[in-house]
Amino acid sequence: MANRSRIFAFIPVVVGVLALAFGVAQAAAAPRPQELHVIPSDNRHIFFHGRWDNNTGSWWAGSGFKVNVRNLKTLAINLGEYTSWPSAPASISFDNGPAMTYSLTSGANEIPVPKVAGKPRGAATLVRVNVEGWQRNRIQFQSLSVNADASLVQYKPAKRAFQFIGDSLSAGQFLPQGVNQAWPYIVGEHFKAEHRINAQPGATLTDMESYGNVHGISFQFFRTEDTGFIWAGDHNYTTPWDFKRDVPRPTHIVIHVGANDASHGVTNDDFVKVYSEFLDKIRELNPRSQIFIFTPWGWPNADGNTYYYYQGQYERIVNLRKEKGDRSVHVVDTTGWVSFADVFPDNVHPNVEGMANIAERFIGWLEKFEKENKLDY
């Protein structure tokens, strides 16, 4: 009986050892979680464009960043609590390929990394992130998570840099992909340039309340925040923008404003005065930039008529600059660029095709201008 007792006592021990061994074997067979390398938003190799506050929070449509990542296989964009709720639409592309729209939210946003056939191991991948919306355009960028053997390398910006300034006609309002389908973005992409877009739907150039905007562009352009700051519980104030952060400095400044001033009855003389003072500030910041002043393409209607505003005033504004000795300010006459087929019938803002048409016309205009003036970038 004693021997049998020892045998039965031994059985649980054997079973326990076998179970432990089986568990160890299972653990060994299971794939190990991939180790990740976390890159904070203050890494010197992250190239920002647009406007960002001190919490690395984005403002204005079209703000974003670019990174060159060597040996990239895994990517997550980690965002903080001040990211727009419920999400901020943003386009993401790899190596200047097609841009896909992602709804970025607070927390970790895993982004599939495409496999590129024939790409050498260790080669750098250019990742571009661009916030699309004029609303819900805040991402509080905290860090990137990449595979452990990935690393950032320096991004070299293009020499040509556009600064676009405008209202809803430039911000991509009503477009499915927002600012990414607006004419400023298309123009910047065509020239493979760096581009920054400060455009606010409903805003006047004159500093006044207009369609939900408490300030006009002549004030807001010089601030970090767009006019949506009044709705931000954590940031319902404005801070001066440090223009030294605009790298490279703009070679081209393109301005298309006035539609909302006209709708509020701002007189010709008052509009010219505000615009002239605005250009004084712009020129002080950018003494070497070429400045291009768009005339209105107007509001086309189904009856074939197009209604214009401030006719002759944009030419007047440019002539006043020339009287001050400024020879690098130019009128871009957009008369006839937009027909009723180019706009949404219910709000007469350019549709996707209309935006592409405007971009094509300005690209042709600018290429001719640069050739005639022997400008090379």
What is the tens place of the pLDDT at every residue in 291-302?
999 999 999 999
**pLDDT for residue 6:** 42
CATH tag for 37-153 (out of 2.60.120.620, 3.90.1150.10, 2.60.120.260, 1.10.3720.10) = 2.60.120.260
**pLDDT for residue 22:** 38
Task: Give residue 85's pLDDT band: very low, low, confident or very high (50, 70, 90).
Answer: very high
Q: What mean pLDDT value characterizes the chain?
A: 92
Model pLDDT for residues 184-194, shown as the tens digit of each residue: 999 999 999 99
**pLDDT for residue 33:** 56
Q: Are 201 and 173 in contact (CB under 8 A)?
A: yes
Q: Which two tokens stand for residue 320?
A: 């006043």
Torsion of CA 83, 254, 282, 62, to 10 degrees: 10
Q: With 70 as the cut, is the pLDDT of residue 23 above it?
A: no
Task: Give residue 31's pLDDT band: very low, low, confident or very high (50, 70, 90).
Answer: low
Q: With 60 as the cut, is the pLDDT of residue 304 above it?
A: yes
**pLDDT for residue 35:** 81
**pLDDT for residue 24:** 41
**pLDDT for residue 94:** 97
Which sequence spans correspond to the domains of the chain? 37-153, 161-372
Peptide bond into 184 cis (omega under 30): no
Q: With 50 as the cut, is the pLDDT of residue 50 above it?
A: yes
Model pLDDT for residues 231-257, shown as the tens digit of each residue: 998 889 999 999 999 999 999 999 999
Q: On the CB side of 342, how many CA atoms lie within 13 Å of its CA?
A: 21
Burial of 344 (0-12, 13-18, 19+ CB in 10 A): middle
Q: Which two tokens stand for residue 84?
A: 């727009």
**pLDDT for residue 29:** 47
* DSSP per residue, 219-259: HHTTBSS-GGGGG-TT--S--B--GGGSSSPPSEEEEE--H
In CATH terms, are 37-153 and 161-372 the same topology? no
371: enclosing H helix or E strand: helix 352-372
**Least confident piece of the model among 57-61, 90-94, 122-126, 222-226:** 122-126
- Looking at per-residue pLDDT, the higher value among 320 and 36 belongs to 320
Percent of the chain residues topping a pLDDT of 70: 91
Query: How far is 290 from 292, CA to CA, in rounded Å?
Result: 7
Give me the residue label for tokens 């996707």: 352
Percent of the chain residues topping a pLDDT of 90: 87
Superfamily of domain 161-372: SGNH hydrolase (3.40.50.1110)
Q: Which two tokens stand for residue 79?
A: 């965002």
Other Cβ atoms less than 10 A from the Cβ of 365: the count is 16
User: Apex CA 125: angle with CA 120 and CA 131, to 5°?
Assistant: 165
Q: With 80 as the cut, is the pLDDT of residue 99 above it?
A: yes
Q: Which two tokens stand for residue 13?
A: 């021990």
Model pLDDT for residues 100-116, shown as the tens digit of each residue: 999 999 999 999 999 87
Q: Are 253 and 291 in contact (CB under 8 A)?
A: yes
**pLDDT for residue 123:** 86
Q: Which two tokens stand for residue 157?
A: 């910006």
Q: With 60 as the cut, is the pLDDT of residue 28 above it?
A: no
Query: How far is 245 from 253, CA to CA, in rounded Å?
Result: 16
Q: How many residues does the chain have?
A: 377
Q: Average the pLDDT over 286-314 and give the result.
A: 97
Cα dihedral across residues 244, 49, 371, 167: positive or negative: negative
Q: Are 134 and 84 in contact (CB under 8 A)?
A: no
Among 336, 285, 274, smallest CA distance to 308 is for 336
Task: Give residue 95's pLDDT band: very low, low, confident or very high (50, 70, 90).
Answer: very high
Cα of 299 vs its chain's centroid, Å:
27
Burial of 33 (0-12, 13-18, 19+ CB in 10 A): exposed
Helix (H, G, I), strand (E, B) or coil at 285: helix
Model pLDDT for residues 120-179, shown as the tens digit of each residue: 887 899 999 999 999 999 999 999 999 999 999 999 999 999 999 999 999 999 999 999
Helix (H, G, I), strand (E, B) or coil at 131: strand
Question: Rg for the chain (alpha carbons), in Å?
Answer: 27
